[in-house]
Every structure is written in structure tokens, then in C-alpha cells.
Structure 1
């Protein structure tokens, strides 16, 4: 839910769960209730102020889970925003605990929905270190796709970036978002992932943003990723 006029995520959740927030005249108690900027939101009967819309890119470190809080007590991606006083922001898509790189955050649900739309959202580019040197047939199989249970998994493209004595780096581009898609796709071909780094979403590149650091997107970047 877009918690307009609320100073922090924890305070927002406390107010919502306490029944003090109404959306279009109805009390809501679920902090994840989706809203749009056109909806009327009030807190204790007072109209909430419009928030500053935020669009952020984080270079996610390995070992953090993409959730607000974790039932197992593991560190989450929100650790990277400690003391930033950003108000409520939500991840736009996900990266699993062992993966790194570009992870977007925003308090604009409509923009986030356009980014994550499997039909029209931007491509995602990954650099993947694997435990072998794939030959042309395996690279072709990544593009053609494999069956994993009831799903057909495929990459939009897969190319060899560089090789060592026993492993290699691949660049894999996805035009759809399935759970642990790259790891499952490679596992079906008996290839193990050593590192997985998302280096770009659409035209947005990770660049030299340090690990664990974040930055605001420019207006041009926001429009290029999820403009109407």
C-alpha cells in the first residue's frame, strides 16, 4: 500500500494495522493493500498528504533476502536503507538471497506494475558465473528452452562472455520473470551457478554503483523503464 503522509514504514504499518487508515472511505488493515495516487487516503480522519514519488536502484549484496522482514531472522534488503528516512518503499520484482545486482524500489505501485508486467516489462540482463565452459549446443539449448515440471523455461539470449580453466561467465537476457528461472534453467542442463548478478533492467545499467549502495533514478530513467 502507498502510505502517503507517513513518516516511516514501521509507523505506517502500526497505523494501518490499528485501523486508523481509510482508503476511499473504507478502513484497511493490510499494509500491502494496493492503492493508486487517485485514491483518497486519510489517517485519523485527516487527509494524508501526497508523498514524494521515489524510484531507487540498489546494488543488492549477496546474502540478503528481498522482503520487509524475515520469519527466520535473516538480514533483508532494507538494511541497505537504514537511517535514510525514505518512508515506505517496496521492491519492484525480486532477487533471491544468493543473487546480486540491480534491484529497484518505489512507492509508485502503478509504475512498479508496468516494470514487472511479464507481457510488456523490460528485459533483464544477468552475468552468471557457472562451473563449466558451456559449448555451443548448451548455449543454444538455453535459448531454445527446457521443460522443468509443467513450465517451459528459456532465455531470450545467452552468450559466452569469458572463460577460465574450469568455469565461465555467461550473459543471459530474460524477457519473462519466473521464480529462480536462470538457476532452474541451468540446472536442467547440469550446469551449476557460482554467482548470479543482475547487471541491467531495460536500458538501466548497474554501472559502477558500489555493492550495498543505492541511488535515485533520473526522470529520464524512470520514463524509459515504465513510462505510460
Structure 2
């Protein structure tokens, strides 16, 4: 007698399913489940890893937890605010710029640290976001970086060669000198894999302090003339151009 055929339907934990449906982040989903706000086929479930095959009826706060309509936005993040849903130190977050817009839950696609500014994408399409942030897909991110000092050709070559800092390899995919003054200069730097404070650490290892860091493009999507602190919806062609999965 042949063995029973296994189902090819993937099984995910409940919190991950809520995230994949664009309802909340995975960590928020874990909290919602533990708080007793989620039912599966009418049964209260408090285990965030409760297996879901896809056919189950999921309810949150008494309402059906259908997949949310996908939303994709681009924001010009100002310097001095953090990319976080909430900050334990009470600092302003990018979500304060979305208040009153009636948007569903949106998660950031990658990060910009507090001191950095420029193009930030937010979406509830977690698969699309993963395709952009996964280093395997090689989506380039372009930055304009102001540094104290006057980098030369040897500096550019060293950025491309890379350094090891705190046990992590740091390098730029591309780097060019945009303009230079007596005391500082602007560089265009491209990364395909971004580690924590990647550019700042790379340049610090080469003896240069970063004065400003602005992300100006992700793939072919440019920041353009979007005013600082403002956001806009992405067009369908822009979403498709960045889709890597």
C-alpha cells in the first residue's frame, strides 16, 4: 500500500500568517495572539506558532482577518526621527507623519537610522518587502553622503575594496565623488547589502566622519522632488519594477 500523499500546502504559524496578510507586523501578531484577541475556526488561540494551513477562518477582535489590500508608499524621511512603530525613549517616529491618513498597518522596507534621511518605503506586502531587502536579490540602494575632509581616489578604491569592522565586512558596490569643497565633500555611494550603520562605519574606518547621509534611490525608484516629511503612493509600474519575488 503506497504511503499517504503529503499536502504541498505550506503551514505557517498564526502570527506569521497575520503578518503575511498585511494586517500587522509579526511581532505585533505575536502580541495580539497572546492577548487573546485572535480566534481560529471559533476557537481562542494564544499560541503565536499555532499552525495555519490556509483554509482556517481567522478572526481578530471579532472581525474576519482577511488579507488587507496591498498599500505601497514612498516617504522622504527627515533627519532626527526613528523608523519604528513606537520608541521606548519617546522620540518621534515616521508613523507620526502618517497620522490621520487612514492607512492600514504598514511596515518599513529596510531601515534608515535616526540621523539619516531620504527615501523610505513602507508597505503591508511583506513578500514584496522581503524581495527588496534580501541581499540575494541585489536591489541597489543609492546614497548621497557628505563627509568631513577631502577623500581622494585611494579612499574611493578602499571603499570598493572594503574593510572589516567589528568582525563584519563592509564595502560599497559603487562610490564616486560628486563635489568637493575646502573642508568637506559629497559622495554617491551604492550598497546592495546594508548592514547596521554600514556607510558610517565604513567611512569611519577610513578616517572620515559622515555629516549627512541621504538615501536618494532604491533600485530605479528615485526620491525625486518629494518634500521632506511628505509621502506618496507608489504607482503600479513602480511597484512592479521593484518586485523581486
Q: How high is the TM-score relative to the length of structure 2?
A: 0.81
5+ long unaligned stretches in structure 2: 1-17
Structure with larger Rg: 2
Shift of 1:109: 0.9
Q: Is 1:158–1:173's contact at 8 Å kept on the other side of the alignment? A: yes
SS at match of 2:137: coil
Q: Given the superposition, is the C-alpha separation of residues 39 and 182 from structure 1 closer, same or farther in structure 2, using an over 3 Å criterion?
A: farther
Q: Which residue of 2 aligns with 1:181?
A: 198
Q: Which residue of 1 aligns with 2:241?
A: 224
Q: Is 1:125–1:198's contact at 8 Å kept on the other side of the alignment? A: yes
Q: CA–CA distance in 1 between the matches of 2:55 and 2:137? A: 23
Q: How many residues align?
A: 222
5+ long unaligned stretches in structure 1: none
Q: Which residue of 1 aligns with 2:90?
A: 73
Shift of 1:19: 1.4
Q: CA–CA distance in 2 between the matches of 1:227 and 1:23? A: 32
Matched, 1:125 2:142: yes
SS at match of 1:79: helix
Give the counterpart of 1:87 among 90, 104, 115: 104
Q: CA–CA distance in 1 between the matches of 2:121 and 2:33? A: 25
Q: Given the superposition, is the C-alpha separation of residues 58 and 136 from structure 1 closer, same or farther in structure 2, using an over 3 Å criterion?
A: same
Q: Given the superposition, is the C-alpha separation of residues 56 and 17 from structure 1 closer, same or farther in structure 2, using an over 3 Å criterion?
A: farther
Shift of 1:50: 3.4
Q: Is 2:23–2:67's contact at 8 Å kept on the other side of the alignment? A: no
Which is worse superposed, 119-128 or 47-56? 47-56
Q: CA–CA distance in 2 between the matches of 1:103 and 1:206? A: 9
Q: Is 2:19–2:29's contact at 8 Å kept on the other side of the alignment? A: no
Shift of 1:133: 1.3
Q: Given the superposition, is the C-alpha separation of residues 226 and 37 from structure 1 closer, same or farther in structure 2, using an over 3 Å criterion?
A: farther
Q: Which residue of 2 aligns with 1:195?
A: 212
Give the counterpart of 2:38 among 4, 21, 25: 21
Matched, 1:108 2:117: no
